[in-house]
Amino acid sequence: MRTHFCGLIDEAMIGQTVTLCGWTDVARNLGGLCFIDLRDHEGIVQVLVEPDQAEVFAVAASLGYEDVLQVEGVVRARHSVNDKIKTGKVEILASRITILNKAAPLPFHAHENAGEETRLKYRYLDLRRPEMQRMQRTRIQLVQSLRRWLDARGFQDIETPILTKATPEGARDFLVPARMHPGEFYALPQSPQLFKQILMVAGFDRYYQIARCFRDEALRADRQLEFTQLDMEFAFVRERDVQDTVEGMIRTIFKEVMEVDLADPFPRLTWAEAMRRYGSDKPDLRIDLELVDVAELVTNSEFKVFTDAAANPDGRVAALRVPKGAALSRKQIDDYAAHAAKYGAKGLAYIKRGDNGEVTSPIAKFFAEDAFAALMQAVGLENGDLVFFGAGDYKVVSDFMGALRLKVGKDNGLVQDAWKPLWVTDFPMFEWDAEAQRYVALHHPFTAPAVDDIDDLRAHAKTAVSRGYDMVLNGNEIGGGSIRIHRPEMQSAVFELLGIGAEEAEAKFGFLLDALKYGAPPHGGIAFGIDRIAALMAGTESIRDVIPFPKTTTAQCLMTGAPSPIPDAQLAEVHIQVRPKKQD
Amino acid sequence: MRTHFCGLIDEAMIGQTVTLCGWTDVARNLGGLCFIDLRDHEGIVQVLVEPDQAEVFAVAASLGYEDVLQVEGVVRARHSVNDKIKTGKVEILASRITILNKAAPLPFHAHENAGEETRLKYRYLDLRRPEMQRMQRTRIQLVQSLRRWLDARGFQDIETPILTKATPEGARDFLVPARMHPGEFYALPQSPQLFKQILMVAGFDRYYQIARCFRDEALRADRQLEFTQLDMEFAFVRERDVQDTVEGMIRTIFKEVMEVDLADPFPRLTWAEAMRRYGSDKPDLRIDLELVDVAELVTNSEFKVFTDAAANPDGRVAALRVPKGAALSRKQIDDYAAHAAKYGAKGLAYIKRGDNGEVTSPIAKFFAEDAFAALMQAVGLENGDLVFFGAGDYKVVSDFMGALRLKVGKDNGLVQDAWKPLWVTDFPMFEWDAEAQRYVALHHPFTAPAVDDIDDLRAHAKTAVSRGYDMVLNGNEIGGGSIRIHRPEMQSAVFELLGIGAEEAEAKFGFLLDALKYGAPPHGGIAFGIDRIAALMAGTESIRDVIPFPKTTTAQCLMTGAPSPIPDAQLAEVHIQVRPKKQD
């Protein structure tokens, strides 16, 4: 139906007769001439209709936004060059225009910035905008680049089931009633974790999949019910084999898609060091600020909040210097305290030091003069600066001081325009869930502990370190993985420590325990969040921009109207019914 | 953990020290030497342990099937060359063997042919078999080859949702209760059909996706609850644009994966011709037999079955010659009749002509001598042949004579060892569903009719031809597609003809009708069944062999135990309950 794409017409084609197809981006009647900006996926070209072509002119004069056209004409040089578009030096002198499909008046025009609800309802109109096309293309290029890299290295792209078995973190499972098995359900996978481990046991050696995963949790700005990950698994490997390989992969795709050179090698931090220096297990290294531990310098003060935390083996007293922070108003300081409070802070002490060296601090009175001077020196407080202090439980202080660090960085223009990847390693094996009174796995229950000895693990569960690792980029965890447990006894022991009894383990993971029994190789892997990486590359905060048909934060597709009620007769066929509403 | 792969050790490496990892395929103690066949995904290599290496020898002597090992040793030439394996000219003289994981006694050994239930339960053991590895790799190569071809041609790989809206053919939908919307459900897509059309409206021009699709129907040998298709859509195209493009693609992948040259161009048959000559809309052209219509030659007979069918405008009298069929026994002829009966035949007349020219036929008595001779000549009956006749409703006769043709071909060694692709085009637009007393779409409700005029379509719905097309290979429909309706009025008219009222259409497809309204380009596409193509390439009858984790015909995963019961409390969270069993 066409000989060329609109956006690719250029000066080399002057004199040629071409047939183009596309949308009427805009049509104007100016000084007795009709100008049509004809748009396709490659871009826009100007079509000119002269009045002596009466029939064609009549068609052109009738056009509205987004009418779909087929245009035949001759390429010629343009009188007034338009530098804003690729085809700005040429135009098409039309000899024939066919309206392939007339467009009704639009609910919103591509050029305006409609509300998100409208944009999602008419997603196909929103996706026509060049900015949205660009972001989708970034994602497409990212996935292409990844596959090219993986295929060239012998990774095998293997599909795993979407209809599978409910898992122990079952509360987040999507359930699918089974027609042939009344009262039974499939579940959609939260990840292909177990299947990829099984594939290693089955001898596939190096596996990957761009896999759809499902998690039924309340939607936050950066979460969707379904999301996409690059899932990888390797047999016969140790941590560095996996890390070095995928680090090279990520460097390659950033080079190919973004023309960016990432650090080589990536910096590495243990989890403990990341928490200590940045108050985060996914530190944003674009911000050149670090937390400073000052417990030792406050033990002789009379400020009970500090001395209590300093005396507590699970406590922390940490400082964050805000360069030029002396300029902060009382209100701004209060806002920072409020922000820290959201992450668990009960209060935020500070020392301000004016440009003239004058010190203002609500806590100065609790310190001897030389101790206070030592404290100021330890945190690097210079004239014009301010320093915040947090004290309390180690984890809580780290969390809110880490959050404070990010906000201070963003508010004060301290975020470098750069790509800062790193590895975080040596995660704790378990986290104590005080509510449930049991350990939970920090990565997942299949992550190997650093120790090989089961008794050793049992004896030191609280401080045990895992063989898990995360890849972090600009403050986002973009990849997470681990070396897995490959011995059935160790897997059983870890289940036990996690409060999963032998019977429950057998019911839920019997097939994994069996598989480990029949010759499982040492193996490990990683999964990367494609939506997040694509959003980072596309330069958008929201992953919704790089998902063609996203759901809202209320889990709806505004375009199709999913979810929707289903006739009871159809529910009967799969042996379920809607539960009556609770009376209370 | 290793320096090389077992299956890739060769003579060029003689003298080198290598570290290998793999499985104990077999370990034998022969004449005071230990031989281990060490296996990885690349193949097997022989490891030799000499008794003077006492410690290593002790380990080697203790090995059982499938123990996972790390072996260090020197590559050397093998005394007795084994031509059956790639590494047959070399062996590894072991200096160290580490058991990485001991394997328990196996439920079945890889070398034996266990029952399918056992193989599916221990799928990871079954997948270790070289034959299964080969079939999975064929699938992997197929998909890789397709992607390479598509990416090089500017097709954009775009993901569409898995959690979406229930469709009109809703009985086959898998339902997923929505936590945030009590009483509402998502559905898993039977295909990305609507989304890919929406993508064309959104201006993506050329789309593809290796897409997971879901259909909740009783499982037959060649169906799974979830299956994979290569889904494609093109904007601004006519039939031949799509067909010629994907025909080239299929030729390329057969060349790359199978080293096979498919016909160029593919033969083309209209649906009517395919039914007439082969009694099938997916004829297997490897069988060089055709149906012959003989209604005109039987009108003067006294065989009422024939004359009735010949007189009926919707009737058919068709013949199928069986070369050398005179040798068929009475029992064999009865078996063919029984086979035809399964496809609707009420009986099967025949004429047999012995090697000596003697004719035997239960219907000869109904014909005048010259009419009978003319009939025999028309069907090409030679000495030693037999010819079957079917008479009755056109569609029924075509179906059972088509099925008979396949069986005759297979039973008599008439299936060529060849790849025979073709296009089938010009399908009927509608099929009359006598039970529901309404038309149903032969392809799907979005397929464009060959006529552009709505009144014309309404007036001749029964005989209307669609713009659908199928790609057929060796009797399998491997791809199906169409030019779609792009005008909203035509789409509404087709919905109406299919008995989908305006209100229902709005509720179910309102977003599509809207999208067509706001500037939809002419577009069309196709979808290919990846599982079926992979099975054909791998040379297996069952698609289960090319799906890593398939379900059984009773819709179960024997490995994981899906589907499974779910605690009522968890069902309550998604606002459903299991329906009480009917009392009757």
Give domain status of residue A276, yes or no.
no
* Cα nearest neighbour of B225 on chain A: A163
Asked whether residue A233 is marked as a ligand-binding residue, the answer is no
**pLDDT single digits (tens) A94-109:** 999 999 999 999 998 7
- Contact residues on chain A for B214, CB-CB shorter than 8 A: 162-163
pLDDT at residue number B221: 64
Cross-chain Cβ contact B555/A166 below 8 Å? no
Confidence of residue A565 (pLDDT cuts 50, 70, 90): very high
With a pLDDT cut of 70, the percent of chain A lying above it is 98
Domains held by chain B: number: 3
- Contact residues on chain B for A519, CB-CB shorter than 8 A: 23, 66-68, 101, 103
Stated as kind and residue range, the H or E segment containing B97 is strand B90-101
Option in A143, A173, A212 nearest B162 (CB): A212
Cross-chain Cβ contact A203/B41 below 8 Å? yes
Cross-chain Cβ contact B202/A127 below 8 Å? yes
Give domain status of residue B549, yes or no.
no
Asked whether residue B477 is marked as a ligand-binding residue, the answer is yes
Give domain status of residue A45, yes or no.
yes
Q: Is the dihedral of CA A321, A325, A330, A336 positive or negative?
A: negative
Residue ending a domain, choose from A389, A414, A439: A414
CATH of the domain at B235: 3.30.930.10
CA atoms in the 13 A half-sphere facing the CB of B547: 27
Option in A66, A127, A195 nearest B549 (CB): A195
CA atoms in the 13 A half-sphere facing the CB of B433: 11
pLDDT, average across residues B302-313 = 95
Spatial distance between the Cα atoms of B328 and B325, rounded to a whole number of angstroms: 5
Spatial distance between the Cα atoms of B3 and A354, rounded to a whole number of angstroms: 62
Cross-chain Cβ contact B563/A123 below 8 Å? no
Token pair recorded at residue B406: 């396949």
**pLDDT single digits (tens) A63-120:** 999 999 999 999 999 988 999 889 999 999 999 999 999 999 999 876 667 888 999 9
CATH of the domain at B60: 2.40.50.140
Is B402:B273 a contact under the CB 8 Å cutoff? no
Q: Are residues A449 and A372 in the same domain?
A: no
CA atoms in the 13 A half-sphere facing the CB of A291: 31
Q: Is the pLDDT of residue B35 over 80?
A: yes
Determine the distance from the C-alpha atom of residue A355 to the mean position of all C-alpha atoms in its chain, rounded to a whole number. Answer: 41
Asked whether residue B433 is marked as a ligand-binding residue, the answer is no
Give domain status of residue A571, yes or no.
no
**pLDDT single digits (tens) A391-446:** 999 999 999 999 999 999 999 999 999 999 999 999 999 988 888 888 888 888 99
Give the minimum alpha-carbon distance from B52 to chain A in angstroms, rounded to a whole number.
Answer: 28
Structural domain containing residue B227: 133-172+189-268+423-542
Token pair recorded at residue A349: 């002490």
Which among B451, B529, B481 is positioned nearest to B241, based on CA atoms? B481
Q: Is the dihedral of CA A141, A143, A149, A151 positive or negative?
A: negative
Give domain status of residue B581, yes or no.
no
pLDDT at residue number B219: 67
Cross-chain Cβ contact B566/A170 below 8 Å? yes
Is A23:A68 a contact under the CB 8 Å cutoff? yes
Which among B43, B132, B40, B140 is positioned nearest to B86, based on CA atoms? B43
Cross-chain Cβ contact B125/A518 below 8 Å? yes
With a pLDDT cut of 90, the percent of chain B lying above it is 89
pLDDT at residue number A582: 72
Cross-chain Cβ contact B101/A522 below 8 Å? yes
* Cα nearest neighbour of A66 on chain B: B519
Is A426:A465 a contact under the CB 8 Å cutoff? yes
Give the minimum alpha-carbon distance from B521 to chain A in angstroms, rounded to a whole number.
Answer: 6
- Contact residues on chain A for B178, CB-CB shorter than 8 A: 555, 563
- Contact residues on chain A for B43, CB-CB shorter than 8 A: none
Q: How many CB atoms lie within 10 A of CB B174?
A: 26
pLDDT at residue number B456: 96
Q: Are residues B211 and B324 in the same domain?
A: no
Token pair recorded at residue A65: 């936004």
Q: Are residues B159 and B79 in the same domain?
A: no
Q: What count of CB pairs under 8 Å joins A to B?
A: 347
Q: Are residues A431 and A405 in the same domain?
A: no
Asked whether residue A426 is marked as a ligand-binding residue, the answer is no
Token pair recorded at residue A192: 């292909």
Give domain status of residue A25, yes or no.
yes
- Contact residues on chain B for A198, CB-CB shorter than 8 A: 123-124, 549, 559
* Cα nearest neighbour of A25 on chain B: B519
Confidence of residue B478 (pLDDT cuts 50, 70, 90): very high
**pLDDT single digits (tens) B512-546:** 999 999 999 999 999 999 999 999 999 999 999 99
Q: Are residues B448 and B375 in the same domain?
A: no
**pLDDT single digits (tens) A218-228:** 766 678 999 99
Give the minimum alpha-carbon distance from A474 to chain B in angstroms, rounded to a whole number.
Answer: 26
Option in B127, B235, B562 nearest A203 (CB): B127
Q: Torsion angle of alpha carbons B298, B299, B302, B305, nearest 10°?
A: 80
Q: Are residues A320 and A365 in the same domain?
A: yes
Tokens 């898995």, residue? B162
Confidence of residue B283 (pLDDT cuts 50, 70, 90): very high
Q: Are residues B385 and B434 in the same domain?
A: no
DSSP sequence for A9-54: --GGGTT-EEEEEEEEEEEEEETTEEEEEEEETTEEEEEEE-TTSH
Token pair recorded at residue B429: 């637009």
Option in A125, A175, A577 nearest B574 (CB): A175
- Contact residues on chain B for A514, CB-CB shorter than 8 A: 122
Q: Are residues A440 and A403 in the same domain?
A: no
Which among B6, B23, B24, B26 is positioned nearest to B75, based on CA atoms? B6
- Contact residues on chain A for B220, CB-CB shorter than 8 A: none
Q: Are residues B531 and B450 in the same domain?
A: yes
pLDDT, average across residues B242-255 = 98
Q: Can you give the pTM of this predicted structure?
A: 0.95
* Cα nearest neighbour of B204 on chain A: A41
Spatial distance between the Cα atoms of B20 and B90, rounded to a whole number of angstroms: 14
Q: Is the pLDDT of residue B111 over 70?
A: no
**pLDDT single digits (tens) A306-350:** 999 999 999 999 999 999 999 999 999 999 999 999 999 999 999
Option in A2, A176, A570 nearest B171 (CB): A570
Contacts of B261 (CB under 8 A, 6+ apart): B251, B254, B255
Asked whether residue B117 is marked as a ligand-binding residue, the answer is no
Contacts of A335 (CB under 8 A, 6+ apart): none
Is A9:A75 a contact under the CB 8 Å cutoff? yes
Spatial distance between the Cα atoms of A35 and A47, rounded to a whole number of angstroms: 6
Asked whether residue A28 is marked as a ligand-binding residue, the answer is no
Which among A299, A254, A293 is positioned nearest to A273, based on CA atoms? A293
Report the residue of A4, A176, A227, A229 to disrupt the B interface, i.e. the one with the largest count of B CBs within 10 Å. Answer: A176
Spatial distance between the Cα atoms of B270 and B265, rounded to a whole number of angstroms: 16
pLDDT at residue number B423: 98
Q: Are residues A400 and A441 in the same domain?
A: no
* Cα nearest neighbour of B174 on chain A: A176
Helix (H, G, I), strand (E, B) or coil at B199: helix
pLDDT at residue number A223: 82
**pLDDT single digits (tens) B133-188:** 999 999 999 999 999 999 999 999 999 999 999 876 556 899 999 999 999 999 99
Token pair recorded at residue B450: 């060959």
* Cα nearest neighbour of B23 on chain A: A519
Token pair recorded at residue A474: 């600009």
Confidence of residue B425 (pLDDT cuts 50, 70, 90): very high
Option in A123, A158, A515 nearest B136 (CB): A158
Asked whether residue B170 is marked as a ligand-binding residue, the answer is no
Mean pLDDT of chain B: 94
Q: How far is CA A475 from CA A251, A276, A339, B259, in A?
A: 17, 15, 18, 49
Spatial distance between the Cα atoms of A194 and B529, rounded to a whole number of angstroms: 26
Give domain status of residue B108, yes or no.
no
Q: Are residues A436 and A533 in the same domain?
A: yes
- Contact residues on chain B for A41, CB-CB shorter than 8 A: 203-205
Give domain status of residue B106, yes or no.
no
Give the minimum alpha-carbon distance from A511 to chain B in angstroms, rounded to a whole number.
Answer: 6
Please state at what angle helix A130-152 crosses helix A239-253, rounded to 10 degrees.
Answer: 140
- Contact residues on chain B for A100, CB-CB shorter than 8 A: 236, 486, 521-522
Q: Are residues A83 and A147 in the same domain?
A: no
Helix (H, G, I), strand (E, B) or coil at A196: helix
- Contact residues on chain A for B157, CB-CB shorter than 8 A: 140, 143-144
Residue ending a domain, choose from A414, A442, A462: A414
Give the minimum alpha-carbon distance from B434 to chain A in angstroms, rounded to a whole number.
Answer: 23
φ and ψ of B138, to 5 deg: -60, -45
Cross-chain Cβ contact A578/B578 below 8 Å? no
Asked whether residue B28 is marked as a ligand-binding residue, the answer is no
Asked whether residue A22 is marked as a ligand-binding residue, the answer is no
Option in A39, A124, A572 nearest B198 (CB): A124
Cross-chain Cβ contact B579/A579 below 8 Å? no
**pLDDT single digits (tens) A30-46:** 888 999 999 999 999 99
pLDDT, average across residues A169-179 = 86
Q: Which residue has the higher pLDDT, A154 or A219?
A: A154
